Structure 1
Amino acid sequence: MADTRRSHQNRDKYFDGWIDIGALFSKAIPDDIHKSEVHEGDGKSVGTVHSFCFVLGGNTVASTKAKVKTIDKENKTLTFSACGGHLEELYSKYTLNVEVFKKDGKNLVKGTIEYEKLNEEIPEPINYLELTIRFAKGLEAHLLQA
């Protein structure tokens, strides 16, 4: 499951915003985020574990932990994987891959969710893709104001 959006932001600055997700998540989408914090690591490197409490689907409050698995500054890609909380109650595997790239002279960001449901009754993670899209848009707006 994936979504690609155009970004009007400088690619380096925008990618750095994704790396600094723990500090910028609540600033980018304050209406959706109750709390975000760093549990392990420095907040900006591989191995960092972030904790998030957020509104999902407009009315459900959920929390999860995500670990930074990869950061490739040259290719502007990073990967987060669920390591606790709401996501692990639904999916045996949940990974968000983010890529910031240039195509046809336009800066783009692509978020791809890879997941495996614990059982067939579990819904597709559409609400999480929508949250990722809101963050992508909110991050751009926040960085343009900064």
Structure 2
Amino acid sequence: MSKCGKVSADVEIKSPGDKFHEMVACKPYLLSKCSPEAIQTVDLLEGQWGKQGYIACWNFSFDGKPSKNTTIAEELDFKNKSGTWKTIEGNLTELYKNFKIILQVTSSEENGSSLAKWTLEYEKLNDNAPDPTTMLQILVDYGKRADAYLTQALLQCN
């Protein structure tokens, strides 16, 4: 059994792709407003929001239990609307030796919609560790709620 893996899921979003990426990369603390039942807080520990290398602590529910995960923004590419966050501390390190969250947002010029692709790359500590499908579902759900939040906010501005 392989200890390394990758899972991904796509979320169609109605809000502009650059705004969605900006929210995730620069304003992840808003996620607790979009999805308070899944993400309680996102606190900046070091660096500056939206700048490569910032470190944030996420307090969230994982499999129905309170969890913490500290990440570092390894890569933030605003031109290509992508980002990579690596787990450096927290509950996920009890299951995975390495754990990365990757976001890639692509925009369709045909219909104006965008696609947010969440990818999790991981290395299990042992064969008993589960594949992170629950974490992927949290990101999918969060993506849908963040999109609804942004869409509503943009409508209020117009």
TM-score class, shorter: over 0.9
Supply the distance in 1 between the matched residues of 2:18 and 2:146 (Cα, whole angstroms). Answer: 13
1:62 aligns with 2:67: yes
> 1:102 — aligned with what?
107
Aligned-partner residue type, residue 20 of structure 2: Y
Q: Shift in Å at residue 34 of structure 1?
A: 2.4
TM-score (norm 1): 0.93
1:32 to 29, 38, 42: 38
Give 1 or 2 for the bigger CA radius of gyration: 2
Kindly indicate whether the alpha-carbon contact (under 8 Å) linking 1:22 and 1:50 is maintained by their aligned counterparts in 2.
no
> Could you list the runs of 5+ residues in structure 2 that have no partner in the other structure?
1-6, 154-158
For structure 1, which segment, 124-133 or 99-108, has the greater mean C-alpha deviation from structure 2 after superposition?
99-108
In structure 2, the residue matched to 1:45 is 51
Change (3 A) 1:14 1:22: closer
Alpha-carbon separation, structure 1, partners of 2:25 and 2:73: 9
| Larger relative contact order (CA 8 Å, sep ≥ 6) | 2
SS of the residue corresponding to residue 44 of structure 1 reads coil
User: Is residue 2:151 matched to residue 1:144?
Assistant: yes
Pairing partner for 1:93 from 75, 95, 98: 98
Report whether the alignment pairs 1:20 with 2:61.
no
SS of residue paired to 2:105: strand
Alignment partner of 1:120: what SS? coil
- AA aligned to 2:76 is I
Name the count of aligned residue pairs: 145
- Name the TM-score, length of structure 2 as normaliser: 0.87
Q: Is 1:125 matched up with 2:132?
A: yes
- Offset at 1:71? 0.8
Gaps of 5+ in 1: none
Identity of aligned residues (%): 26
